[in-house]
A and B are shown apart, each in its own frame.
Chain A
Amino acid sequence: MTQSADEDQRDVARVLAGETDAFAALVERHQGRIRNHLARCVGPDDADDLAQDTFVRAFQALDRFDQTYPFRGWLLVIASRLAANHGARRRERPSGGSMPEPAPRRDDDPAAAFADRDARDELVRRLDAALATLPPDARALYELRFRQECPVNELAHHFQISEGALKVRVHRLRQALAEHLGIDSPQEA
């Protein structure tokens, strides 16, 4: 178990024992990831409000949190559910241009790096456009599985479906995105 996961477990136990202020440490530790995730799912305008709701809901349901799984994944699933509900209500999706910029990277050959980066940026832009066409729940699942790298077993547990069913959903997601990017018959990751 990582240091962060250990700290989460300790803070969750303190909150459950009645130390409400210990929840602030959990908020500090996870707010960046949750806010980024929600900005991806619903756009930056509504992300912070939904992020606050995510933490409040987590606090209210903390006694039902299964501590055999990481707190981070549980929070991300709560955020995703809120994002999906929010998206279903609004029936509109954020534009690719409003997403946070990817982190800069270093390359050894500047000329090749520029050409490579242009091609990569174009692909990233197309991927964002493809993601914007997905229904809110599918988009949230993509962000959880691929950008946040939540394990299949953890997501299956939180969504209360079998791992097989979750893998099928993820496979269909990849297929839909691949079609959007003009790729035939994607192989399994």
Chain B
Amino acid sequence: MDPMHLIDHPPQDPERRPDALFTAAVMAKVRIERPVRHAGAWWLAAAVIAACALSAPVEGVAELASVGDWIDLQLVIESALAAAAVALVWVVTTARARIAS
């Protein structure tokens, strides 16, 4: 047998029958992952925009006041907003995943 012919035409694998368990496993992942992924992305984007929008006035006030304490307050508020955004994303994505499954 010509070895080059074998390289160009390697033996085909025997056909496998569809496995219902395999299909079920894929579909279980598919049903859960897509809503979470999409909802997570949208809600994260919204939360980041909201946090930025809300922190801007705080920063402006701090600059106008020119008071050192305001800077600390700004950090506290921004941290709280960030934590709230993360919590919101977690709650929403978890709820969507449970509904989807």
Contacts and interface: CB of A to CB of B under 8 A. Distances in A.
Interface of A: 20-21, 23-24, 27-29, 31-32, 35-36, 39-40, 48, 51-52, 55-56, 59-60, 100-103, 116, 119-120, 123-124, 127, 146-147, 174, 177-178, 181-183, 186-187, 189
Interface residues of B, number: 28
Contacts of B14: 100-103
A28 B12 contact: no
A186 B30 contact: no
B64 interface: no
Nearest to A23: B30
A121 to B, nearest CB: 10
A20 B11 contact: no
Interface in B1-46: 1, 3-4, 6-19, 22-23, 25-27, 29-31, 33-34, 37
Nearest to B20: A28
B3 A181 contact: yes
Interface of B: 1, 3-4, 6-19, 22-23, 25-27, 29-31, 33-34, 37
B8 A146 contact: yes
A28 B18 contact: yes
A101 B13 CA distance: 7
A81 to B, nearest CB: 18
A56 B33 contact: yes
B22 to A, nearest CB: 6
Q: Which 7 A-B pairs have the closest CB atoms?
A: A102-B11, A32-B16, A36-B13, A28-B18, A189-B8, A55-B26, A181-B3
